[in-house]
Amino acid sequence: HHYIGATWHVLKIELYEMGWNLKDGLRECLVAAAPYGGPISLLKGHNRRSPSARPQLEIYSSSGLPLASFPWKSGVVKQLGWTVSDDLLCVQEDGTVLVYDLLGGFKRHFSMGNEVSQSQVLETKIFHSPYGTGVAILTGALRFTLATNIDDIKLRRLPEVPGLQGAPSCWAVLTQDRQSKVLVANGSHLFILDNTACTPVTPPGLSPQASSIVHMCVSFSYKYLALLTDSGHVWMGTSNLKEKLSEVDTKIKTPPKQMAWCRRPKSQQPSAVVMWDGLLIVVGECKETIQYHLDDDSILVPELDGVRIISGTHHELLQEVPGACEEIFKIASMAPGALLLEAHKEYEKESQKADEYLREIKEQSLLSEAVRQCVEAAGHEHEPETQKTLLRAASFGKCFLSNFPPEQFVSMCRDLRVLNAVRDYTVGIPLTHTQFKQMTVQVLIDRLVYRKLYPLAIEICRYLKTPEYQGVSRVLKHWACYKVQQKEESDEVIAKAVSVKLADAAGIFYSEIATKAYESGRTELAIKLLEFEPRSGEQVPLLLKMKKSPLALSKAIESGDTDLVYTVVMYLKNELNRGDFFMMLRNQPVALSLYKQFCKHQEQDTLKDLFNQDDDHEELGNLYVKASYKEQRLEARIALLQSAVDEYYKAKNEFSAKTTEDEMRLLRFQRKLEEEKGELLVGFSLHDTMTTLLSVGLHKHAEQLYKDFRVPDKRFWWLKLKSLAEKEDWEELEKFGKSKKSPIGYLPFVEVCIKHHNKYEAKKYVSKVTPEQKVKAHLAVGDMEGAAEAAIERRNESEISTVLSRCSATTDHLLMERLNRAKATAVKK
């Protein structure tokens, strides 16, 4: 522990002794280490251009275990860097960026634009922002080109820097106001470049001795900026250049190799690390600095809460000592956490003193604070033994608290188990607790998956009870996607292995795995895997992609998702020729009816073709009939009906054919009459035509229809009866009634006359009514006597009751008596 001033100190701990064996250390290497304890890439001899001695690209874990190694065969690399998802970026001199995964698999490449490739890359920086990983390039033409997110490349060329003659003394990328900007130093001048302008800026209170800014660095959060001047002063302030936090003289005037911020989130202390050959200086708020001697060429890797120092042999972490740890471990500390730790030590020794310490804490009511401190401190410790000691103390303290919430303790124990597991030398992810919390379990699982550490990832998911969808299932899916690319194993073996492993995992989409298999050229395997997919709908898109359209169609239908069926049908419609398309539909009634629905609205003619192909004459007939009544011109209409007739005959549907022929005859008849008599008739039903004819007195014509169209007698009689009554042509009605025996009887005559308020005429027909209807008829004309007479004569109880119910007690007194008597006898019978 190194103290500076009264309250501030930093701590350097060793993370790993590096597992690699580098002959020349990091000398003459292009090195890039990913933040959050990510992988390290080395390119040895990157300036070599001869094909006989190609540079070697190597990738290691943070503990120096080899992950990949291969000779570099592309162009000259200017810079290496890592993306937020552990992909390696290699920026070449010509502005091409090659992307590799962390196991050295080539993924893709992209260009930083023509301008860059023409004037070549002078310097480049890879940076991270909330929008992803970005690349900034300074070209040979001394212009900056920037891409903020390499997954969605939008190249921006920044404005010119005034007065720039050669490479600027130093520069950095900032993220401010949701924009990536470049901060450039040209001698003592400082500029901010954004999309539109180049603005000169002045850091407040920068020591006047400086004639040039030789180095700069931005903090992990982009909030702070440190500048190193040729006079050896480090200026520290906010990156918006509004506030100066401190300025320290390093007393070294040679330009450094690297500079980085070393600061915890929420810390009040600014502090930066500057590295020269063999020397590391930590600067803070006060004048004093801490100096470390370095044996070997090293690089600094800035982290969220400190700086990692990687050399050819060692990997260390330099950190501001966390508050809780300091409180507890400071010599002679009286902080509650420190006392609790003491108390627990004494307790383990079965000493009386335990009680004294405890009482001391409790007297100040600081026991819960003490427990919290111990738990927090445990989180910051890298040594499992220290972690355990602190957690035991916390657990001990918890026993004397009744309502202390257990969550913090429990989750810290869990987190530490996970952290210790991934910090292990064989895994080599030296995360701090702060970094872990910032990164989230999700991302950690992803990182393990990238490293193909599937069992560990699953173990962690299970241990942390991550919901299966985001946890175990996701890992298994990645595993399966990796598995299907293993060329040496047979389709059967892989399919079996995948299905066995994934059997009871929830939320697995086999379609994704199958897609991967297809992409690596294994169509057969893909089809096999799709068979495991329980959601038939999920199988469809890939099947289409693999040109297995019939299978895709039946799967879509199986899914019961009409929309999906539709998608396939439309796809097939465009893919196949019409004949094949129809053939395929023919075997799939669901798809066919769906397509017919579509055609009904969009392609009437296709519909006809479809029916034609199926020899579905019935439907064709219907189609023509339908078309006919949309047609305004009579001739065309009749022609359509004729087509319908032909189809109906072909369909052996004589009834429809005959009916349609009748309709054609009727239409001709209607038109003829329209022309002759000027009466609007075309389009009326037979019934309506006759009604119209009768109402205008064209009885002859109505009768002609009656005969020609085999109209039932009953209908004709009803029609004529109603129409004559309508016109109040009572004389004609009487004649009609007598013309022959009415097929509808005479009750309708009575009722229709009454309806037209002619009781007199109605009465004429009462006598003709059948005995069963007599009562009704009499009642209809209001003849109570007659009704009673008829009912009594028929000795029908219910009829007698009906009449009775219509009698009025005041006027029909006598009649009621008679009826009641008759009812009594009728009942007796």
Partner 1 sequence: MAAWRDAPELPDFSLLKRLARDQLIFLLEQLPGKKDLFIDADLMSPLDRIANVTILKQHEVDKLYKVELKPIVSSSDQLCFLIRPRIQTVKWISDLVNADKVAGRFRRYKIIFTPQKFYACETVLEEQGVYGDVTTDEWNFYILPLDDDILSLELPEFFRDNFLEGDQRWVTTAGSALHLLQSVYGSFSKVYGIGRCAKMVYESWRELMEEGEQRTRQPEFAKVFLVDRDVDFVTPLCSQVVYEGLVDDLFRIKCGSVEFGPDVTSSDKSIKVMLNSQDKVFSEIRNEHFSNVFGFLSQKAKNLQTAYDKRRGMDIQQMKAFVSDELKGLKQEHRLLSLHIGASESMMKKKTKQDFQELLKTEHSLLEGFEIRECITYIEEHINRQVSMIDSLRLLCLLSITENGLLSKDYRSLKAQYLQSYGIKHLLTFANLRQLGLLEEQQAGETLTVMESKVGKLVNDKTVGKLTDAFSSLAKKSNFRALSKRLALVPKSGEEYDLRVPRDMAYVFSGAYIPLSCKLIEQVLERDGWTGLEEVTRMLNGQEFAVTEARNKTDAQRIVLVMFLGGCTFSEISALRFLGKERGCRFIVVTTAITNSARLLEALLDNHA
**Can you give the binding site for partner 1, defined by CB under 8 A?**
467, 507, 535, 554, 557-558, 560-564, 566-567, 570, 586-590, 593-594, 596-598, 600-602, 618, 622, 625-626, 629, 655-656, 659-660, 662-663, 684-688, 709, 711-712, 714-715, 718, 722, 744
DSSP SS3 for 741: coil
Half-sphere exposure of 628 (CA within 13 A, CB side): 23
Report, in Å, the least distance between residue 716 CB and partner 1.
9
Beta carbon of residue 662, minimum distance to partner 1 (angstroms, whole number): 8
What is the rounded CA–CA span in Å between residue 417 and residue 301?
Answer: 25
CB-wise, 64 or 537, nearer to partner 1? Answer: 537
Q: Report the residue number, 73 or 630, with the smaller CB distance to partner 1.
A: 630
Nearest to 129 by CA among 32, 260, 218: 218
> Cβ of 339: how many Cβ atoms within 10 Å?
25
Q: How far is the CB of 158 from partner 1 (least distance, A)?
A: 32
d(CA 792, CA 653): 54
**CA diameter of the chain:** 140
* 96 contacts: CB under 8 Å, gap ≥ 6: 74, 75, 109, 110, 111, 112, 117
Spatial contact of 40 and 15, defined as CB atoms under 8 Å apart: no
Report the residue number, 602 or 632, with the smaller CB distance to partner 1: 602
Minimum Å distance from CB 378 to partner 1? 34
Residue placing its CB nearer to partner 1 in the complex, 119 or 659: 659
If the CB atoms of residues 301 and 527 are measured against partner 1, the closer one turns out to be: 527
Closer to partner 1 by CB, 309 or 754: give it: 754
Minimum distance of partner 1 from residue 556's CB (angstroms): 11
The minimum distance between CB 458 and partner 1, in angstroms, equals 21
Cβ nearer to partner 1, comparing 497 with 592: 592
Residue 198 or 634 having the CB closest to partner 1: 634
CB nearer to partner 1: give 334 or 570.
570
108 strand-pairing partners: 99
Q: Minimal distance in Å, beta carbon 602 to partner 1?
A: 7
Long-range contacts formed by 390-397: CB under 8 A, 24+ apart: 390/328, 390/341, 391/416, 392/344, 393/337, 393/340, 393/341, 393/343, 393/344, 393/345, 394/340, 396/340, 396/343, 396/344, 396/347, 397/340, 397/343, 397/344, 397/358, 397/361, 397/367, 397/370, 397/371
∠ CA 694-700-702, rounded to 5°: 45
The β-bridge partners of 9 are: 3
Nearer to partner 1 by C-beta: 655 or 741? 655
Least CB distance from residue 802 to partner 1, whole Å? 11
Nearer to partner 1, 499 or 659 (CB): 659
CA 422 to chain centre: 31
CA 403, CA 768: separation in Å to the nearest integer? 103
Cβ nearer to partner 1, comparing 424 with 603: 603
Q: CB of 711: closest distance to partner 1 in angstroms? A: 7
Nearer to partner 1 (CB atom), residue 366 or residue 540? 540
Contacts of 674 (CB under 8 A, 6+ apart): 680, 681, 682
* Min separation Cβ 567 and partner 1, Å: 5
Q: Cβ of residue 784: shortest distance to partner 1, in angstroms? A: 18
**Side chain identity at residue 604, one-letter code:** Q
> Which of 450, 546, 486 lies closest to 67, judged by CA?
450
Sign of the alpha-carbon dihedral angle for 813, 818, 819, 820: positive
d(CA 508, CA 198): 51
Tell me how far apart the alpha carbons of residues 800 and 776 are, in angstroms, rounded to a whole number: 11
* Type of residue found at 312: G
Three-state secondary-structure class, residue 788: helix
Give least dist CB 629 to partner 1, A. Answer: 5
**At closest approach, how far in Å is the CB of 284 from partner 1?**
49
